[in-house]
């Protein structure tokens, strides 16, 4: 197992280097010269040359890339061109609000969708199953923006059940987070329920399930004690792959509900072409994605020894 | 038993959900909205209206705009009187007040704010001039003050920040920038700049204490220390800013005079009273318009702009909707000091000599529809670069091509040897990527197609857009300009030949007569002679059509009746010290 993990970590290094190069090339050639934006409408030729030199943008491409790698290796993402803050501090500031929304939403979403999928599987081809499938398809068909705009207007503004927007740290923040969490859960249920239901149904066709039923066990008992543990491999893999998304936050939810998280920060950076922030977020997102892949593989190998052997 | 297990979390949830509304209205507390994140509290970086709006609550300049006066003018703020200017128009002597102190802050010995002196002004300008500060605002002093450019060049040799925050170079004398004593500043200009008093009222010229820069270093941008009516209590980026009354502020008073009608509008009820009236002010940041609008309608905000998509829900042809009036909401209209236009690249072979083509395209552009569709009908069709509210604006002035007449446009094209657009290549219209900009581009394409001129829309990112403007890599570009200071020079310089890219003259327009008139007008104070020159310049532009003139925008904001003394000012956005909230 250890050698399996070591191999996967070693493979990640060239992947990460490739990502940094791709990121750098992309923003170097496609993003446009940031100096013109930084100096604004009143720039002149002397000031443009001066700022280009100050930012090191007059250095050869490979020197700039080397500087970028050197800074990354020191854990430095530089300073935002827009706000002049340290990017690492901006990320730390935004992490708390993002996670305060994402973690409860993720856990609730996983638990509810598993429960709904189990119910659908239990009552397969009956009206409850069909209703859940239809609702799931409807949920998948609506964009998250529709959920946000409608829920904010109806439940927060018209009904007054929730604050319209805002964020506070700690327990005082719960009322502010309640509606965005519910929206996150509602918007993500459709796809998850459909996927988990398919996994459960696949599992329920296996011979051990027939044996268990033949021994006289009830469907709910078979589902919870036998089907669920065996279905956990694809489900866990799916859940682990969703973990990096918790870090990047929900761009739309954070923007509409005024949650000062990383999604909100990323949108601002994109709108302002704030390349240090965009590069940092993309890089960290990539690292987390690779890490989630490794964890997913490890879980798979843990549950299924054939993977380790191959 | 079961119910006892379930009820505590339920009770907690209900209690939390029913927790008191943190936005509940309170006397002397103002709640406003910002539609974008504030970037910084460093005056040297105050390049956007949101930064300006927030910095004006904390920092002050030698001069400030009169709140109620029209046309716009300045009055002393940290100065004790208007500048004494000698006959040459180059030497300014400015006396500072001797009774103003910085806010209390831990950067000062004992945490007690000290008195503001002339040396603070000199330091503030030197810091702004220092190349390492990477200011957006150097252009306000570039080439204007004797010896200041040499100081800037010398600052390039300094070690990079944060080392040497206060280098020995700062102690060197600058010929045109001297503190004669603690309360007197002498500024020598390289030539007369009649609008220099406005420069001294810009946030870039705000006075900062060197102690704050020394103490906070690179984090100074997060720790404003000023002399203004408020201090920063809380700044959570992406969420809100909270200001509280500055106990050291004693030098501001509500104006005692205003324009005709101000008294009847209740704007002089607080005449002569000490400022500010508010104990606390909060700005909430809304990246999306829906939450801002809903919070305003709920009464959680005291003042709000009207989002484009909600305009018809607020304003009808008869005015503000009755249900909003019943809620105690009123609309405040403001004529912006700005112009939007489509710029021809006069160095492009298609447009260099083809004046009739430019005139025809101006005639073919349906500007009224643009104002209706994209500005909710709020705006004035522009006839010259000078907007209403500035010296030189004349509502009766009409450009011969400043109206929609496709038939006349076709005739001009035929006279030009391009009947129905024959022989013309497909033109490119550059704009910034975005739904609104794309729709405007498509409208332009349709209008031009109606006279046979083929145009394609080219969208790009904001940095690419700026780069292409500076490098003259475009044929037609949608653009706009907002006033930096209320002088027509700020708009007429946009077509001054030597300001061609990378300067602000994006059209690369060159007309020797216009340039010569500009040079004369730029150094003159307002007078009948200056007005005559401006009229001639406007006529030249109208005939040459280096731009397709579009509009001077009008904006409308809504506020609850509980907020008093609200007027809209195109340069002073939300000057909270004048607001009173019942």
Element (H, E) at B481: strand B476-482
- Taking an 8 Å cut-off on Cβ atoms, the answer to whether B136 and A45 are in contact is no
Q: What is the pTM of this model?
A: 0.86
> Which residues does B173 contact at the CB level (< 8 Å), separation at least 6?
none
Q: Which residues contact B86 (CB under 8 A, 6 or more apart)?
A: none
Q: How far apart are CA B349 and CA B347, in angstroms?
A: 6
Token code pair at residue B81: 């009187």
Residue B200: which of B431, B404, B484, B479 has the closest Cα?
A: B484
Interface test with B, best of A38, A42, A264, A269 (most B CBs within 10 A): A42
Cβ neighbours around B257 below 10 Å, total: 11
The closest of B291, B295, B549, B270 to B397, measured between CA atoms, is: B549
Nearest neighbour of A164 by CB, restricted to B134, B136, B291: B291
Give the phi and the psi of residue A144 in degrees, each rounded to 5: -65, -30
Cβ separation B39–A42 shorter than 8 A: no
Contact B432, B440 (CB under 8 A): no
- The lowest-confidence range among A201-205, A247-251, A280-284 is A247-251
pLDDT score, position A310: 55
Question: Where do runs of H (alpha helix) occur along B23-173?
Answer: 49-55, 118-129, 148-155
Residues 119-158 of A with CB under 8 A from B: 149, 152-153, 156-157
Q: What does the pLDDT read at residue B121?
A: 97
Say how far apart CA B301 and CA B557 lie, in whole Å: 12
pLDDT at B316: 86
- The distance of Cα A289 from the centroid of its chain, to the nearest Å, equals 9
What are residue A219's phi and psi, to 5 degrees?
-60, -50
pLDDT for position B570: 84
Mean pLDDT of the B538-552 span:
97
Give the pairing of strands B427-432 and B455-460: parallel
Tell me the average pLDDT across A46-63.
85
Residue B3 has pLDDT above 60, yes or no: no
pLDDT tens digits along B63-91: 999 999 888 999 999 999 999 999 999 99
Residues 160-219 of B with CB under 8 A from A: 218
For residue B550, name the pLDDT band (cuts at 50, 70, 90): very high
Confidence of residue A302 (pLDDT cuts 50, 70, 90): confident
What count of other Cβ atoms lies within 10 Å of the Cβ of residue A219?
Answer: 16
Of B131, B291, B481, which is closest to A50 when you measure between CB atoms?
B131
pLDDT tens for each residue of B239-292: 999 999 999 999 999 999 988 889 998 999 999 999 999 999 999 999 889 999
Alpha carbon separation from A264 to A62, A144, A258, B288, B462 (Å, rounded): 32, 16, 8, 11, 19
Strand partners, B333: B556
Cross-chain residue pair A268–B23, CB shorter than 8 Å = no
Percent of chain A having pLDDT more than 90? Answer: 30
Predicted local distance difference test score (pLDDT) of residue B240: 92
A169-178, A300-309, B52-61, B442-451: least confidently modelled range:
A300-309
Size of the A and B interface in Cβ pairs below 8 Å? 140
3-state secondary structure B257-293: CCCCCCCCCCCCCCCCCECCCCCEEEEEECCCHHHHH
Is the Cβ pair B466, A37 closer than 8 Å?
Answer: yes
Tell me the pLDDT band of B5, cut-offs 50, 70 and 90. Answer: very low
Chain A residue with CA closest to B141: the answer is A42
Q: Which two tokens stand for residue A80?
A: 């935002």
- Residue A305: pLDDT band by 50, 70, 90 thresholds? low
pLDDT at residue number B340: 96
Rounded distance, CA B287 to CA B334, Å?
Answer: 23
pLDDT confidence of residue B39: 80
Query: What pLDDT sits at residue B2?
Result: 42
CA distances from A12 to A6, A24, B390 (A): 10, 18, 63
Pairwise CA distance, residues A12 & B220, whole Å? 40
CA atoms B520, B526, B528, B532: torsion sign: positive
Q: Which residues of A touch B37 (CB under 8 A)?
A: 83, 268
User: What pLDDT, on the 0 to 100 scale, is given for residue B506?
Assistant: 93
B503 close to A (CB below 8 A): yes
Q: Do the beta carbons of residue B155 and residue B129 sit within 8 Å?
A: yes
Angle at B447 between CA B349 and CA B468, to 5 degrees: 40
Provide the 3-class DSSP secondary structure of residue A306. helix
Task: Name residues whose C-beta falls within 8 Å of residue B157's C-beta, 6 or more positions apart in sequence.
Answer: none
* Beta-carbon separation of B16 and A153 below 8 A: no
CB pair distance less than 8 Å for B139 and A42: yes
* Chain-chain contact of A84 with B503 (C-beta, under 8 angstroms): no
At residue B560, the pLDDT reads 95
State residue B6's pLDDT score: 43
What is the structure's pLDDT at B197?
A: 95
Q: Are B244 and B279 in contact (CB under 8 A)?
A: yes
pLDDT: is B171 or B507 the higher one? B507
- More reliable by pLDDT, A291 or B538: B538
With a cut of 50, say whether residue B4 has pLDDT above it: no
What percent of chain B is predicted at pLDDT more than 90?
71
Greater confidence (A64 vs B408) lies with: B408
Mean pLDDT of chain B: 90
- For strands B184-188 and B230-236, give the pairing: unpaired
Which whole-number Å values give the CA distances from B513 to B192, B346, B488, B498, B522, in the listed order?
A: 21, 17, 18, 13, 14
State the average pLDDT over residues A63-77.
86
Cα angle, residue A10 at apex, residues A5 and A15 outer, rounded to 5°:
120
- What is the maximum alpha-carbon separation in chain A? 86
Whether A56 and chain B come into contact, CB under 8 Å, resolves to no
Phi, psi of B518 (to 5 degrees): -60, -45
Q: Rounded to the nearest 5°, which phi and psi values hold at B36? A: -155, 160
Q: What is the pLDDT of residue A308?
A: 59
CB B107 within 8 A of CB B209: yes
Q: Does B288 touch chain A (CB under 8 A)?
A: yes
Comparing CA positions, the residue from B37, B532, B116 lying closest to residue B285 is B37
ipTM computed for the complex: 0.85
pLDDT tens digits for range B405-443: 999 999 999 999 999 999 999 999 999 888 888 899 999
Nearest CA in chain A to B34: A258
Question: Which three-class secondary structure state does DSSP give residue A79?
Answer: strand
Could you tell me which of A157, A200, A274 has the C-alpha nearest to residue B290?
A157
Whether the ω angle into residue B71 lies within 30 degrees of 0, i.e. cis, is: yes
Residue B16 reports pLDDT greater than 60: no
The per-residue DSSP string of B89-103 comes to S-EEEEEBPSS-BPP
For residue A202, the tally of other CB atoms under 10 A from its CB is: 14
Average pLDDT score over residue span A133-139? 90
Both ends of chain B: CA-CA distance in Å? 51
Q: How far is A180 from chain B (nearest CA, A)?
A: 13
pLDDT at position A31 is: 64
């Amino acid at each position: 197992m250890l050698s399996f993990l070591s191999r996967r970590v070693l493979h990640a290094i060239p992947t990460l280097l490739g990502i940094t190069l791709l990121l750098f090339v992309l923003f170097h050639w496609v993003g446009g010269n940031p100096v013109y934006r930084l100096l604004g409408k009143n720039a002149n030729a002397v000031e443009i040359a001066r700022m280009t030199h100050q930012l090191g943008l007059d250095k050869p491409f490979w020197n700039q890339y080397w500087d970028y790698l050197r800074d990354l290796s020191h854990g430095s993402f530089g300073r935002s061109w827009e706000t002049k803050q340290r990017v690492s501090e901006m990320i730390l500031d935004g992490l708390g609000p993002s996670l305060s929304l994402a973690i409860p939403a993720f856990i609730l979403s996983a638990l509810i969708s598993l429960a709904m999928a189990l119910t659908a599987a239990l009552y397969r081809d009956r009206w409850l199953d069909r209703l859940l499938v239809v609702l799931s398809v409807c949920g998948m068909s609506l964009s998250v923006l529709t959920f946000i705009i409608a829920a904010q207007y109806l439940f927060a503004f018209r009904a007054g059940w929730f604050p319209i927007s805002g964020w506070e740290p700690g327990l005082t923040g719960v009322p502010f987070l309640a509606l965005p969490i519910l929206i996150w859960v509602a918007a993500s249920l459709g796809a998850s329920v459909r996927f988990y239901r398919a996994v459960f149904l696949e599992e329920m066709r296996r011979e051990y399930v027939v044996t268990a039923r033949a021994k006289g066990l009830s469907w709910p008992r078979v589902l919870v004690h036998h089907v669920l543990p065996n279905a956990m491999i694809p489900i866990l893999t799916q859940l682990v792959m969703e973990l990096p998304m918790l870090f990047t936050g929900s761009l739309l939810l954070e923007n509409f509900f005024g949650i000062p998280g990383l999604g909100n920060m990323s949108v601002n950076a994109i709108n302002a072409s704030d390349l240090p922030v965009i590069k940092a977020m993309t890089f960290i997102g990539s690292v987390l994605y690779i890490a989630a892949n490794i964890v997913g593989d490890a879980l798979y190998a843990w549950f299924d020894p054939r993977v380790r052997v191959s | 038993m079961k119910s006892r297990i379930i009820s505590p979390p339920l009770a907690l949830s209900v209690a939390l959900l029913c927790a008191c509304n943190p936005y509940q209205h309170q006397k002397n507390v103002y709640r406003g909205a910002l539609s974008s994140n504030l970037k910084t509290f460093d005056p040297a970086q105050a390049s956007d209206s949101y930064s300006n709006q927030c910095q004006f609550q904390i920092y002050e300049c030698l001069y400030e705009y009169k709140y109620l006066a029209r046309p716009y003018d300045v009055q002393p703020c940290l100065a004790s009187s208007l500048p004494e200017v000698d006959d040459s128009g180059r030497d300014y002597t400015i006396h500072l007040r001797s009774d103003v102190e910085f806010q209390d802050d831990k950067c000062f010995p004992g945490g007690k704010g000290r008195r503001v002196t002339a040396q603070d002004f000199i330091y503030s300008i030197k810091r702004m001039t220092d190349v390492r500060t990477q200011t957006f605002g150097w252009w306000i002093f570039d080439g204007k003050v004797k010896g200041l450019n040499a100081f800037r060049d010398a600052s390039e040799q300094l070690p990079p920040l944060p080392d040497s925050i206060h280098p020995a170079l700062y102690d060197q004398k600058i010929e045109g920038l001297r503190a004669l004593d603690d309360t007197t500043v002498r500024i020598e200009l390289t030539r007369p700049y009649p609008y220099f008093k406005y420069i001294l009222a810009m946030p870039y010229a705000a006075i900062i204490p060197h102690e704050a820069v020394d103490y906070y270093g690179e984090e100074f941008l997060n720790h404003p220390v000023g002399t203004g009516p408020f201090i920063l209590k809380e700044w959570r980026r992406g969420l809100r800013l909270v200001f509280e009354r500055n106990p050291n502020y004693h030098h501001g008073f509500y104006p005692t005079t205003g324009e005709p009608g101000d008294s009847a509008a209740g704007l002089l009820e607080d005449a002569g009273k000490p400022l500010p009236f508010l104990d606390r002010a909060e700005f909430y940041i809304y990246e999306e318009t829906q939450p801002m609008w809903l919070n305003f309608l709920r009464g959680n905000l005291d003042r709000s702009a009207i989002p484009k998509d909600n305009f018809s829900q607020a304003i009808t042809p008869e005015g503000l909707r009755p249900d909003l009036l019943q809620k105690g909401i009123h609309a405040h209209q403001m004529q912006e000091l700005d112009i939007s236009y489509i710029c021809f690249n006069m160095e492009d072979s298609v447009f260099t000599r083809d004046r009739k083509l430019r005139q025809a395209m101006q005639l073919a552009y349906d500007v009224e529809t643009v104002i209706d569709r994209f500005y909710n009908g709020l705006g004035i069709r522009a006839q010259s670069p000078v907007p209403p509210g500035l010296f030189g604006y004349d509502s009766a002035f009409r450009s011969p091509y400043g109206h929609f007449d496709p038939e006349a446009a076709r005739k001009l094209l035929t006279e030009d040897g391009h009947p129905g657009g024959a022989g013309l290549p497909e033109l490119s219209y550059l704009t910034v990527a975005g739904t609104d900009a794309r729709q405007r581009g498509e409208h332009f394409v349709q209008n031009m197609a109606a006279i046979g001129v083929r145009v394609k829309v080219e969208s790009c990112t904001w940095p690419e857009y700026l780069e292409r403007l500076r490098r003259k890599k475009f044929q037609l570009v949608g653009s706009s300009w907002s006033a930096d200071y209320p002088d027509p020079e700020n708009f007429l310089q946009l077509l001054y030949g030597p300001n061609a890219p990378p300067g602000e003259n994006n059209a690369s327009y060159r007309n020797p007569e216009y340039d010569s008139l500009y040079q004369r007008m730029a150094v003159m104070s307002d007078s009948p002679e200056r007005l005559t020159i401006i009229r001639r310049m406007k006529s030249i532009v109208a005939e040459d059509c280096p731009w397709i003139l579009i509009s001077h925008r009008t904006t409308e904001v809504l506020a609850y009746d509980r907020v008093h003394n609200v007027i809209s000012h195109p340069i002073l956005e939300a000057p909270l010290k004048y607001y009173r909230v019942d």
